[in-house]
Structure 1
Amino acid sequence: MFNSAPKSLCILRLSAIGDVCNTIATVQAIQKQWPETTITWITGKLEAQLLTAIDGVEVIVFDKKNGIKGYKTLWAQLKEREFDALLHMQYAIRASFAVIGIKAKYKLGFAADRSQDFQTLFINQKVTSPSSLHVADGLMAFAHHIGIKAQELKWSLSYTEQDGLWARSQLNKNTPNLLIVPGASKAYKNWHAQGYVDIIEYARSKGWNIILAGSPSKIETDLAHEIQGVLSQPCLNLVGQSSIMQMLALIDKVDLVIAPDTGPTHMANAMQTPVIGLYAHHNPLRVGPYNYLTYVVSAYEEAIFSETGKTSQDLNWRTRVKDKHAMQRIKSEHVIKMFETTTRAIHPNKAIVAG
């Protein structure tokens, strides 16, 4: 689309934390090739906190809780501006509605095979889908469409010294540290408390220090409380006690993360901290931690075949398992085995570098 660097680009990716984290690799690839291009990113209120971890991007916050007033505020902010291209990287209808008030010569969206909610009605350029299933590659396809050369996906996130000091203060300096983020915002994505108890007790027997972390949502705090109540000895519980940036720093400082399909899984990937992802409802080849897919413990194929009689290769790429109890298919021994495999593959004393 562009033979030379455009003057300005607008990124539209409102949510969620994991998807915004995946999008960062695309934005930074654009910055690497076209450092002179001004990039404006429209995102959600919580997600904007994560974007303080990257440089050179103007962030405009869209608060969906404000309803139509939120759209009018956004459009008023952009009234006098026109972008060379708008990368509409979220097909949800609430995101598409925002496009109406954004001026851009080119408005890019997903091709029909990856689009939904009538996104194609709001764009004038369809981005060819890559052969890879992964959403991060689908996002990078937007960069390729406008003229960015093919390259390996890379992330570069930083945090303040204060956040780094806070994170370091939570660690046991004499043992490797395992961070477990047990809960996701949607209950059906969560593994059961006993499973986490089993892996925690096993990791402790191998000399690891355990830390629990997560958001202050009731789903997550309740799960953490349940885990603590069953453990032979409670571990450090930081669930609901950290900001997004403190979480990022903590993820960077620990040696290993275990989490279900949730934002911190992708934050770990971005910080190059090995992560064991737990999946059953969504295909991890599509939404798993990009550089750590070999560490995933997945019951997705088993669950989707039980539900449909078909393998994932015979289904739409975004087909989700509907069984609310699918995560119960993951057994403690599966996670313990992956823990052993992962700890043999990583250096237990990963260098701690200040953000």
Structure 2
Amino acid sequence: MPAPSSICLLRTSAIGDVTHVVPLVRTLQKAWPQMELTWIIGKLERRLVGDVPGVTFVTFDKNAGLAGMRAVGEALRGQRFDALLQMQVALRSNLLSLFIKARQRVGYDHARAKDGHGLVINERIPARTGEHVLDAIGSFCEPLGLKQTDVRWDIPVPEEAHAWAAEQLPGDTPTLLVSPTSSHVLRNWQPERYAAVMDHASARGWRVVLVGGPSPLERSMADAVLASCRHAPLDLTGKDTLKQLLAMLARAPMLLTPDSGPMHMANTVGCKVLGLHAASNPDRSGPYSDRRWCVDKYDEASRKYFGKPASEIPWGSKIEKPGVMDLISVDDAIDRFEACARHLGLA
């Protein structure tokens, strides 16, 4: 198979998923250093990975609807790619892909395709189950004749972001970062439970820092957590950029969070993740490199809400039911905190 001279990646969102695309970018660049690589990406997500070298980024404003799609088409006017890797199956993304001209149009297998996905592609990745999302995205290079064997991120972090993080987290005191809010609200834990774990970490001599974006949902959750804390943490909610958060994660040994974008950001820089999983399967969407420190109540949730073990429900099923995260106790999270702290030599 001849080497492609140009490839277009279409994965616009979300934060966690675009971190999963970066290893694929590295795989393609290693195999074909001279290839022109273009990535269609969301506005927010571009702030995190838009400075990855060797990639031309085209921003898609999903709030602009059809006008946003036309803007992408205009930015790509006159270009015809050797291959389009259509890594998002939502209807909006499938429609967006029609504005991209490519000879080879690679998409998901039948089981993972929806919303007319099969109508906008002419080739599919291998049909597999039991894969982590990152491995599924990595398999998009296989129809091109490659195999992703190495997983590498190296997302650039500006020196000024590192300097800002050092100002917030000075010295060698071990830091527990807490990012309590997922945009999927049924994945979120109770504020008072976060507070109890944070108070435990504070009592053990850890610095505790609350982080999150500027949205009303994240501010509301942060305020509820703060109201339940006996030991006030440093509250940086809404005060950092994505690059500054990445720099803080690079300095902190541990992050407490539900299934969310910061979970996957932390994984890219080696920060251990105390992930809270009941609504989603950590083996599919947990921190890719190391899931030992996650609380995993996914099987228990499947038995409670579906009446069968997780092994008997479709791979990737979400159990986003009211109260599902209550299956995770404070003691469950403290147990993982202590185990991870011992592993890091910080107990």
Give the TM-score taking structure 1 as reference length.
0.94
The reply to whether residue 158 of structure 1 matches residue 126 of structure 2 is no
Structure 1 Cα separation of the partners of residues 241 and 257 of structure 2 = 17
| Deviation, structure 1 residue 5 | 2.8
Structure 2 Cα separation of the partners of residues 326 and 304 of structure 1 = 10
Q: Evaluate the alpha carbon distance shift between residue 218 and residue 229 of structure 1 in structure 2; reply closer, same or farther with a 3 A threshold.
A: same
Is the partner of 2:177 in helix, strand or coil?
Answer: strand
Structure 1 Cα separation of the partners of residues 11 and 345 of structure 2 = 35
**Alpha-carbon contact 1:41-1:59 (below 8 Å) kept:** yes
Match of 2:11 in 1: 13
The reply to whether residue 108 of structure 1 matches residue 113 of structure 2 is no
Structure 2 Cα separation of the partners of residues 275 and 145 of structure 1 = 33
Match of 1:84 in 2: 82
Match of 1:242 in 2: 240
AA aligned opposite 1:99: S
**Alpha-carbon contact 1:5-1:36 (below 8 Å) kept:** no
The count of aligned residue pairs is 347
Is the partner of 1:223 in helix, strand or coil?
Answer: helix
Structure 1 Cα separation of the partners of residues 346 and 247 of structure 2 = 18
**Alpha-carbon contact 1:9-1:83 (below 8 Å) kept:** yes
Match of 2:344 in 1: 346
AA aligned opposite 1:140: G
| Deviation, structure 1 residue 325 | 1.3
The reply to whether residue 144 of structure 1 matches residue 122 of structure 2 is no
Among candidates 331, 335, 338, match of residue 337 of structure 1: 335
Among candidates 59, 68, 72, match of residue 74 of structure 1: 72
**Alpha-carbon contact 2:110-2:127 (below 8 Å) kept:** no
Match of 1:178 in 2: 176
Structure 1 Cα separation of the partners of residues 136 and 129 of structure 2 = 9
Match of 2:118 in 1: 120
Structure 2 unpaired stretches of 5+: none
Among candidates 316, 321, 324, match of residue 322 of structure 2: 324
**Alpha-carbon contact 2:124-2:143 (below 8 Å) kept:** no
Structure 1 Cα separation of the partners of residues 291 and 30 of structure 2 = 26
Is the partner of 2:111 in helix, strand or coil?
Answer: coil
AA aligned opposite 1:333: D
| Deviation, structure 1 residue 152 | 2.8
AA aligned opposite 1:124: N
AA aligned opposite 2:110: A
| Deviation, structure 1 residue 130 | 3.9
Structure 1 Cα separation of the partners of residues 219 and 340 of structure 2 = 27
**Alpha-carbon contact 1:15-1:47 (below 8 Å) kept:** yes
**Alpha-carbon contact 1:21-1:270 (below 8 Å) kept:** yes
AA aligned opposite 1:342: C
Structure 2 Cα separation of the partners of residues 301 and 132 of structure 1 = 15
| Deviation, structure 1 residue 53 | 4.6
Is the partner of 1:42 in helix, strand or coil?
Answer: strand
| Deviation, structure 1 residue 322 | 3.7
Match of 2:295 in 1: 297
| Deviation, structure 1 residue 195 | 1.1
| Post-superposition CA distance 1:178-201 (Å, at most 9, x none) | 111011122211111111111111
Structure 1 Cα separation of the partners of residues 136 and 339 of structure 2 = 30
Q: Evaluate the alpha carbon distance shift between residue 346 and residue 147 of structure 1 in structure 2; reply closer, same or farther with a 3 A threshold.
A: farther
**Alpha-carbon contact 1:89-1:109 (below 8 Å) kept:** yes
Is the partner of 1:323 in helix, strand or coil?
Answer: coil
| Deviation, structure 1 residue 57 | 0.8
Structure 2 Cα separation of the partners of residues 148 and 346 of structure 1 = 36
Is the partner of 2:74 in helix, strand or coil?
Answer: helix
AA aligned opposite 1:274: K
Give the TM-score taking structure 2 as reference length.
0.96
Match of 1:223 in 2: 221
| Deviation, structure 1 residue 172 | 4.1
Structure 2 Cα separation of the partners of residues 100 and 25 of structure 1 = 25
| Deviation, structure 1 residue 94 | 0.3
| Deviation, structure 1 residue 131 | 4.9
Structure 1 Cα separation of the partners of residues 306 and 152 of structure 2 = 36
Structure 2 Cα separation of the partners of residues 7 and 348 of structure 1 = 49
Match of 1:353 in 2: none
| Post-superposition CA distance 1:180-229 (Å, at most 9, x none) | 10111222111111111111111112111001101111121111111112
**Alpha-carbon contact 1:299-1:326 (below 8 Å) kept:** no
| Deviation, structure 1 residue 246 | 1.0
Q: Tell which deviates more after alignment, 141-150 or 241-250.
A: 141-150
- Identical counterparts, % of pairs: 34
Structure 1 Cα separation of the partners of residues 254 and 222 of structure 2 = 18
**Alpha-carbon contact 1:276-1:292 (below 8 Å) kept:** no
Is the partner of 1:80 in helix, strand or coil?
Answer: coil
Match of 1:255 in 2: 253
Among candidates 311, 314, 317, match of residue 312 of structure 2: 314
| Post-superposition CA distance 1:20-72 (Å, at most 9, x none) | 11111111111122211111000111011111352111110000111111111
Is the partner of 1:291 in helix, strand or coil?
Answer: coil
